Structure 1
Amino acid sequence: MGWVKIAQLSEIPVGQMLHVEVGMEDIGLFHTEDGLFATSDVCTHAAQQLTNGRLEGNIVSCPKHGGKFDVRTGEATAFPCYIPLQTYQTEVRGEEVWIHLD
């Protein structure tokens, strides 16, 4: 699919997250102090939308069971989650946020 524009930078201040649908994909966009990161927005344990959870630094918590993921890598960091999230390359082009979908 290639590069896809998913948001305006103004829609997602630092410390916030945003749910975006691209085709059949549910994408979570996370703006941390370390930059913008995009992952699958579905918890690999409980199939919950992660952007309904809590973002603390680079860690997002699932709203159902509290499992945690590092949004920079997709790595599961807390039980009951152990399967990592899909991650996407992210770029800021001017005021637009783009991700790369395979």
Structure 2
Amino acid sequence: EAVHYEIYGQILRISIHAARRQREFSILTMAEQNFILQQNWAAIFTLRAATWPIDLVELQTRNPTANKSIITCLLWARGVLSKLQLDEMEISCLETFVICRP
């Protein structure tokens, strides 16, 4: 179970790091960035986790105490993104929209 938390933590850390590297986002002050990230971290995490190369079904199977609704949400998001067949640039643009949404 500790491994799962480590994976989730790594996804969140990389999500925030990638957000701060976004050209449009990086021009904001650190205080503005922190405020936006506090508001939108869940959406940013969900987008990154949905594209993360991990077997979510296996993750749920190996950890029966995992929150099934979270895994279900990530599987749904992964399915939607898969159907869109986005390339890396399009995913980056989508990430910018997620970060900058009101």
Relative contact order, higher structure (CA 8 A, sep 6+): 2
Q: For this structure pair, what is the TM-score category when the shorter chain's length is used for normalisation? A: under 0.3
Determine which structure has more spread, i.e. the larger CA radius of gyration.
2
More helix by share: 2
More strand by share: 1
Normalization by structure 1: what TM-score?
Answer: 0.24
Normalization by structure 2: what TM-score?
Answer: 0.24
